[in-house]
């Protein structure tokens, strides 16, 4: 991408809350663009910059491929990923368990 001029980048903004696994996102973008992309982190967004225009709606393609999730989307795929990210009931640390694990 070093050969591209500054005005010829296409930027796609993805909210940080949509990204559930950076490695999965990186692999999906590598399948789409090869090595022809870069990330820029902003306060609310992760900006994907590339010299290639396609796909026009990158965010929707990544949702359809399962690389990111739309928190407001009612589809089964997004809701399944949201449920998988919620803490499990058995994983809660109680005060009793926390005291018992102290190795002094």
Task: Note down pLDDT in tens along the chain; length 104 residues.
Answer: 444 455 688 899 999 989 988 999 999 999 999 999 999 999 999 999 998 888 888 988 998 888 888 888 887 877 777 777 777 776 555 565 555 555 54
Whether 16 is in a domain gets the answer: yes
Whether 24 is in a domain gets the answer: yes
Whether 100 is in a domain gets the answer: no
- pTM exceeds 0.85: no
Helices (H) and strands (E) in the chain, counts: 4, 3
Domain of residue 38 covers: 6-89
Whether 43 is in a domain gets the answer: yes
Q: How many domains does the chain have?
A: 1
- Cα–Cα distances (Å) from 68 to 13, 71, 77, 82, in that order, read 12, 10, 10, 10
Whether 21 is in a domain gets the answer: yes
Whether 103 is in a domain gets the answer: no
CA distance 87 to 89: 7
Whether 97 is in a domain gets the answer: no
Whether 1 is in a domain gets the answer: no
């Amino acid at each position: 991408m070093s050969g591209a001029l500054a005005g010829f980048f296409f930027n796609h903004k993805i909210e940080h809350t949509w990204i559930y696994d950076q490695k999965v996102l990186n692999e999906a973008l590598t399948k789409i663009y090869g090595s022809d992309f870069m990330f820029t982190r902003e306060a609310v967004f992760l900006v994907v910059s590339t010299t290639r225009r396609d796909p026009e709606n990158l965010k929707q393609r990544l949702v359809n491929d399962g690389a990111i999730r739309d928190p407001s989307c009612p589809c089964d795929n997004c809701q399944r990923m949201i449920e998988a990210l919620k803490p499990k009931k058995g994983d809660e640390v109680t005060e009793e368990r926390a005291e018992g694990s102290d190795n002094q």
